[in-house]
């Protein structure tokens, strides 16, 4: 039997104070899709579970031409997938969120819980990194902002300090019109990705002005492939350059052998899928 106290603070300040007060004994819960599995498997055994459900506006999604998109950490995957604002201004996010798990999980799981779990197999992180997203973290000492790519520290480890809550994801106005998201799942579309690729780029007069490439399921964290980006940034977009992009990306990953495939197989997939994603993004940008 699992025993714990369940607390339901009604404000962010109250939630932060409770987490500070109870320290290591406490853990926040949002949709519970990941935390409850961890608790059932006795991987995490919090004595106090602090619900984020009653924090006002915790799941709001707002967009402004100057500021971009602000997604409350409590927004559920399905809310983001179905948001007309997201669909219109950030098609990459719409495409990504519609591929997360299956509707039952998308109706419960939140973006905050997804990122805070620090699971490298999950999808939204790579697309958000490709869109230059930042995360806002709040603790008893006040808020701080981090680029999302610095938030993922190691396998199931993030930059969240004990007692901190991820409150918001900020995505600036889209800077690069070309985009692509590939979630390679040969076993079932509802499975975690064997390899995930998210890419945004801008092309002018046949040359790549700028790009961002991020990958999931190929290392201990979701990663940005900065070396590969340099292959194309400022260069003419040719088929050879796109192939080189994939080849360099494959040198930046460190996949594990698991039931989805060997590390060699995944590295080969990175080569092929990054090139394919870039081709699609160039087509959209042109």
Ligand X SMILES: Cc1cc2nc3c(=O)[nH]c(=O)nc-3n(C[C@H](O)[C@H](O)[C@H](O)COP(=O)(O)OP(=O)(O)OC[C@H]3O[C@@H](n4cnc5c(N)ncnc54)[C@H](O)[C@@H]3O)c2cc1C
Q: How far is the CB of 75 from ligand X (least distance, A)?
A: 10
Residue choice 31, 120, 163, 261 for contact with ligand X (CB under 6 A): 31
Q: How far, in Å, CA of 139 to CA of 163, rounded?
A: 6
109 scored as a contact of ligand X (CB under 6 A)? yes
Q: Which residue has the tokens 């109250």?
A: 14
Q: How far is the CB of 234 from ligand X (least distance, A)?
A: 32
Residue choice 16, 26, 35, 269 for contact with ligand X (CB under 6 A): 35
Q: How far, in Å, CA of 143 to CA of 54, rounded?
A: 19
Sheet holding 223-224, edge to edge: 178-184, 195-204, 207-216, 223-224
Convert residues 135-154 into a mask of x (bound to ligand X by CB under 6 A) and - (unbound).
--------------------
194 scored as a contact of ligand X (CB under 6 A)? no
- If DSSP codes are grouped into helix, strand and coil, which group holds residue 79? helix
Asked if 167 contacts 194 with a C-beta cutoff of 8 angstroms, the reply is no
Residue choice 15, 16, 26, 30 for contact with ligand X (CB under 6 A): 30
Q: Which residues pair with 219 in a beta bridge?
A: none
Burial category of 30 from C-beta neighbours within 10 Å (exposed 0-12, middle 13-18, buried 19 and up): buried
Residue choice 15, 16, 28, 81 for contact with ligand X (CB under 6 A): 28
| Other beta carbons within 10 Å of 139 | 16
39 scored as a contact of ligand X (CB under 6 A)? no
Chain center to CA of 233:
23
Applying CB under 6 A, what is the total number of residues that bind ligand X?
Answer: 29
Asked if 166 contacts 135 with a C-beta cutoff of 8 angstroms, the reply is yes
61 scored as a contact of ligand X (CB under 6 A)? no
68 scored as a contact of ligand X (CB under 6 A)? no
Question: Whose CA is closest to 215, among 178, 250, 177, 164?
Answer: 250
Residue choice 9, 15, 33, 273 for contact with ligand X (CB under 6 A): 33
Residue choice 15, 75, 93, 116 for contact with ligand X (CB under 6 A): 116
Piece of the chain touching ligand X by CB under 6 A; list 24-32, 144-152, 224-232, 236-244: 24-32
Piece of the chain touching ligand X by CB under 6 A; list 22-30, 145-153, 197-205, 241-249: 22-30
Piece of the chain touching ligand X by CB under 6 A; list 82-90, 103-111, 141-149, 236-244: 103-111
Structure tokens at 115: 């990122």
73 scored as a contact of ligand X (CB under 6 A)? yes
Chain residues in the site for ligand X (CB under 6 A): 27-35, 52, 73, 100-101, 105, 108-110, 112-114, 116-117, 122-124, 160, 165-166, 192
């Amino acid at each position: 039997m699992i025993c714990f106290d369940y607390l339901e603070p009604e404000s962010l300040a109250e939630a932060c104070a409770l987490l500070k007060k109870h320290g290591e004994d406490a853990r926040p819960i949002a949709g519970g899709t990941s935390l409850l599995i961890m608790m059932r498997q006795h991987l995490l055994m919090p004595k106090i579970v602090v619900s984020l459900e009653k924090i006002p506006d915790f799941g709001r999604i707002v967009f402004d031409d100057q500021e971009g998109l602000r997604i409350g950490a409590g927004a559920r995957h399905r809310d983001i997938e179905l948001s007309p604002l997201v669909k219109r201004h950030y098609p990459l996010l719409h495409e990504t969120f519609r591929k997360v798990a299956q509707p039952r999980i998308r109706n419960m799981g939140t973006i905050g819980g997804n990122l805070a779990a620090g699971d490298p197999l999950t999808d939204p992180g790579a697309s958000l990194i490709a869109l230059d997203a930042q995360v806002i973290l709040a603790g008893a000492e006040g808020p701080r902002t981090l680029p999302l790519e610095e938030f993922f520290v190691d396998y199931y480890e993030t930059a969240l300090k004990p007692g901190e809550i991820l409150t918001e994801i900020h995505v600036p106005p889209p800077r690069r019109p070309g985009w692509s998201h590939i979630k390679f799942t040969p076993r079932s579309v509802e499975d975690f990705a064997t390899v995930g690729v998210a890419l945004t780029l801008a092309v002018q007069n046949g040359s790549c002005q700028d790009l961002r490439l991020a990958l999931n399921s190929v290392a201990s964290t979701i990663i940005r492939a900065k070396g590969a980006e340099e292959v194309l940034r400022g260069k003419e977009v040719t088929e050879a350059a796109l192939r080189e992009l994939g080849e360099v990306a494959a040198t930046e990953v460190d996949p594990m052998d698991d039931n989805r495939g060997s590390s060699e197989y995944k590295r080969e997939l990175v080569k092929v899928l990054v090139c394919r994603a870039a081709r699609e993004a160039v087509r959209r940008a042109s």
